[in-house]
Amino acid sequence: MSLETVSTNRSHGGTQGVYAHASAETGTTMTFAVFVPDHEPGARLPVLWYLSGLTCTHANVTEKGEFRAACAEHGIIFVAPDTSPRGEPVPDDEGYDFGKGAGFYVDATKEPWKANFRMRAYIERELPALVAEAFPADMTRQGITGHSMGGHGALTIGLRNPQRFRSVSAFAPIVSPLACPWGEKALGGYLGADRAAWREYDACALIADGARVPALLVDQGSADGFLEDQLKTGLLVEACEAAGQSATIRMQEGYDHSYYFISTFLGEHIAWHARHFA
């Protein structure tokens, strides 16, 4: 696969790069960021995937996440994809919570979305193959994390692929799209009215249906304005307890939904994933 280097910068004893490629899954050019710590020649490093939230691109966490020092310390490659296909031919919606910037990590089945909105296949298959080819990645040691809509993506992709990910974490994730306005709009629009088809994109439903992950860590801010109506962290607590899924789910007092919250705890999450890569 042909890869274009958009930019590279030295940071924290490593290289922060931004790259672009023509995606067969989305039919568009996709841009993503990768941080690679300095390493011995021939070494292969574990990979941590970070999935971003509504309205975001790779740039949000790359510029505000404060992850590079921790990744350099633990020798972890950090990959930050975009949240949706982009460009003029791609359909869009007037709302911030649907269309461009709001791919919800699903493979759409409804028109006009199904031709381009294939973020599940892009994250689960196409981009990992490219990362394995272009970077010194040890694909036997992978973890995944994300924020909000990206937390939903991290949970559901991790639950559907437990053999691939040694560890799964999330910041303020949408834990049950079946039970919140964001999810109902997105899954209804991309997949149609059959709510049974939504279950593979709902972390609580996946756990209830038997899916498990080896290790799970979730942080949620108590001052998050989306907590009650959209995120509903308590539903994930209940699902894990009912199914016997081991999980550390923490309420962080006074923190909101912003990158001030994420950057405070992202280094701790990276260290947690590193322990599972060891």
Residues 209-221: tens digit of each pLDDT: 999 999 999 999 9
Give the Cα separation of 88 and 79 in Å (integer). 26
Q: Which residue has the tokens 């992978």?
A: 142
Given a cut of 90, whether residue 106 has pLDDT beyond it is yes
All residues at 6 or more sequence positions from 80 whose CB lies less than 8 Å from its CB, including other chains: 32, 33, 34, 49, 50, 52, 58, 61, 62, 65
Given a cut of 80, whether residue 97 has pLDDT beyond it is yes
Give the Cα separation of 21 and 225 in Å (integer). 36
Q: How many CA atoms lie within 13 A of 105 on its CB side?
A: 32
Strands 29-37, 14-22: pairing kind: antiparallel
Which is nearest to 37 in space by CA: 26, 29, 48, 27? 48
Provide mean pLDDT across the span 186-202. Answer: 98
Q: Which residue has the tokens 């028109």?
A: 111
Given a cut of 90, whether residue 1 has pLDDT beyond it is no
Provide mean pLDDT across the span 42-63. Answer: 98
Give the Cα separation of 252 and 23 in Å (integer). 38
pLDDT above 90 covers what percent of the chain? 99
Give the Cα separation of 248 and 160 in Å (integer). 19
Give the Cα separation of 119 and 85 in Å (integer). 8
Provide the pLDDT for residue 93: 97
Residue 179: how many other CB atoms lie within 10 Å: 15
Confidence of residue 254 (pLDDT cuts 50, 70, 90): very high
Given a cut of 90, whether residue 79 has pLDDT beyond it is yes
Confidence of residue 4 (pLDDT cuts 50, 70, 90): very high
Q: State both tokens at 256.
A: 């909101």
Provide the pLDDT for residue 81: 98
Predicted TM-score of the model (pTM): 0.98
CA dihedral defined by 57, 118, 78, 183, rounded to 10 degrees? 70
Instruction: Say if residues 48 and 78 touch (Cβ distance below 8 Å).
Output: yes
Catalytic positions, written as ranges: 148, 224, 257
Residue 118: how many other CB atoms lie within 10 Å: 23
Integer-rounded Cα radius of gyration of the chain: 17
Mean pLDDT across the chain: 98
